[in-house]
Amino acid sequence: MRRERVPIVVTALAAIGAAFFILPLIGLLVRSPWGDALAALTAPETVEALKLSLIASLSATAVALILGVPLAWVYARVEFPGRDLLRALTTLPMVLPPVVGGIALLLAFGRRGLLGAWLYSIFGITFPFTTTGVVMAETFVAMPFLILSVEAGLRSMDRRYEEAARALGANRWRVFTRVTLPLIAPSLFAGAVLCWARALGEFGATITFAGNFPGVTQTMPLAVYLLLETNQEASFILSLVLLLVSLVVLVALRDRWLGSA
C-alpha cells in the first residue's frame, strides 16, 4: 500500500493534540516521589480510601449490572413510545457535570428530597454522609456506560440462536442465561469494566451528595483532592495509582475499542 503524504499542518496539530494528553501524564510520573511511594501507599488514610473506593466502585458495578442489564434489554428488544427519550434520560449522566448529578441526587434522595423525605420520615433512612450514598452517586454516574455497551451487544447479536433455543423448548430465562448472556459476554464485560472505572474515578457527585469523611465517604479521588493541600507527594502517588488502573482498563478493552465493532 502506498504511504499517504501527511500534510505538515495536520501532523503539527496532531502532535500538539497528543502532547496535550501525554505531557500531564509525564508530569505526574516525573514529579512523583518514587522513594516515598510505598510509605504513601501504605499510610492508614490511603489504605482506608483505597479500601472504600474498591468496595464502593464494585458495589456500584454490581448495582449497575442488576438494574442496567434489564434496562439495556428493554431498550434493545421492546418497542414503545418514548423509548429514545427514556434512553436519553438514563444516559444523561455521561454528559452531565457530576456536581449537577450530586445536586439532583440530593433533591431526590436527600433528607428533604422527593423520595428521601418520605424514606426519612417513615423509616429513618438517610443516604447523604453514608457509604450507601457513595454507591448511589457512583452508580448514577457510571451505569450509563454499562447500559449503552450492553444494548449495543444485544442489538448486534444474531437473534436466530435465541429463536432456535426457544424452538427446542427452552424457556425464556433459560434462553437468556444460556444463549443471550454468553453471546453478549464481551459487551457485558466491557460495559462492566468501563462502569467500574468510571465509578472508581467519581468525584463531583460523591462529594456533593455523600460528603467527605475518611473511611465512610472519602474515596480515592476525594483523598487525592484533599491531600493536594496537605501532602502533595502522597496525592501525586495516589493520582498515579488511579492513572495506572485507568491504563490497565484501556489496555484490557483495547480490542473492543480499536476493533471493527
Partner 1 sequence: MRVFRIAVLSVAGALLAACGTSGGTASTSPPATRLSGSIAVFAAASLTDVFNALGSAFQAVNPGVTVKFNYAGTPTLVTQIEQGAPADVLASADTTNMDRLKADGFTTGTPQVFAHNKLEIVVAPGNPKAINSLADLAKPGVIYVTEAPTVPAGKYSLQALKAAGVTVTPKSLETDVKSAVSKVELGEADASIVYTTDVKAAGSKVQGVPIADAYNVVATYPMVAVKASTSVTVGSAFIAYVLSPVGQAKLQAFGFLPAS
Is 85 a binding residue for partner 1 by CB under 8 A? The answer is: no
- 106: closest CA among 129, 87, 86, 123? 129
Contact between residue 93 and residue 195 where contact means Cβ atoms under 8 Å apart = no
* For partner 1, the closer CB: 67 or 212: 212
Is 229 a binding residue for partner 1 by CB under 8 A? The answer is: yes
Alpha-carbon distances of 3 from 6, 10, 12, 18, rounded to whole Å: 9, 15, 18, 21
* For partner 1, the closer CB: 74 or 103: 103
Is 212 a binding residue for partner 1 by CB under 8 A? The answer is: yes
Is 11 a binding residue for partner 1 by CB under 8 A? The answer is: yes
Q: Give the angle 236-36-24 at the CA atoms, nearest 5°.
A: 25
Is 129 a binding residue for partner 1 by CB under 8 A? The answer is: yes
| Shortest CB 152 distance to partner 1, Å | 36
Going by C-beta distance under 8 Å and a sequence separation of 6 or more, which residues neighbour residue 103? Answer: 208, 209
| CA separation for the pair 59, 63 (Å, rounded) | 6
Q: Applying CB under 8 A, which of residues 3, 5, 112, 160 lies at the interface with partner 1?
A: 112
| Shortest CB 11 distance to partner 1, Å | 6
DSSP-H helix ranges across 78-159: 83-91, 98-109, 116-123, 131-156
* For partner 1, the closer CB: 111 or 178: 111
| CA separation for the pair 58, 225 (Å, rounded) | 22
| CA separation for the pair 250, 223 (Å, rounded) | 24
**Could you tell me which stretch among 55-63, 73-81, 104-112, 237-245 binds partner 1 (CB under 8 A)?**
104-112
* For partner 1, the closer CB: 23 or 247: 23
| CA separation for the pair 102, 143 (Å, rounded) | 15
What is the Cα Rg of the chain in Å? 22
Is 15 a binding residue for partner 1 by CB under 8 A? The answer is: yes
Count of residues that interact with partner 1, criterion CB under 8 A: 26
Is 4 a binding residue for partner 1 by CB under 8 A? The answer is: no
Site map (CB under 8 A) of partner 1, residues 180-209, x = contact: ---------------------------x--
Interface residues toward partner 1, by CB under 8 A: 11-12, 15-16, 19, 106, 110-112, 126, 128-129, 207, 211-214, 216-218, 225-226, 228-230, 232
